[in-house]
A and B are shown apart, each in its own frame.
Chain A
């Protein structure tokens, strides 16, 4: 019995235990799962079409038919909330993957080759770094126009610095390791060494960064859609739903319309932050 236990105590298993013992991280995981399941399986949880409007039932109070009531043109709020989660999540996750990809590739190239290539990329990243991402995005939206595809592209182009910095510093230190010399001695090409042998060693922090940046993008999308510069107005996202609160009548008399999506965003981002912090504790105990 005791032998069996010893055998199973691999690093992955210990990490798993550490994570499970972190109550906030578990709470975050539960929040995330609830939000994701509700959005992905939205048709299961509501029979209403989020786009269907019935002008005779504007601003209805919550009832058994409409769980959260209806909005300004008589659309079911609960349906919009969970369908809206889909777009908010897609934008958040796709942008996080996009930034990570750019960051990882540039980080690998920069760290591995060093020299002038490194200097140029670092110089560019410093300019990006000194600008708050929200401002860069805002200005680019001004040039490229609003829309969810544009948003994903712009988020990816402006947010890569964090992943880049992590990967670059990691690659810089890995470059001195013996296994890299061994690879070179065996005649393995630079690209293969970078992406097949060195990159896997940097993935822990990259995944943590990917998780946490999803939260940032969901927040940015919401903020941009709220001020009317994000996703097209007809697509239900949480930010677009809160946009209704710009009308004073809605803000004052129909708080459910904007408080519900606000709570949805808050819970989701809170979930990611708790979960991500837990992940970081496991992957990167030094921090």
Chain B
């Protein structure tokens, strides 16, 4: 029994060690990231309570690249990179001058701050990954590294940017883009939650 007790003790210490290790990993920051994303989705929805009827006619399909999630075996890092792409692009759109005049200033700064927080978290996590994988860096250093998935996401935001420009940042165009970005966030949020459960 003494021997068994010793083994239990070791297993217990291992457990403690693993918990401690995870805590320092970027995974732990995910808890926080999820919270920030949820908060931002809420903020985006709350800008206006209903979608203006007069804008219905202008609604455009931006072709959210859903297939990049369904077909590929996404790894943790890919998901983080996809989130990073989405977050920075959304952040850039809401930093546009046209949005300054539309929304109540406090609301806009809340969204901008929230998105910045989201971007900063992801940036930190991804940079940590980069430091961990120095060898990989060598491999990509010549051409740069950019996932094709993110290229699809970028095209999606490119279509949104073009739409805004074509419509000269009209009220309806901004509303449509806001709803689209909220939709994109919630789609990816649900998908990431699904992946985590799997």
Chains A and B come from one and the same complex: no
Interface residue ranges, A against B (CB under 8 Å) = none
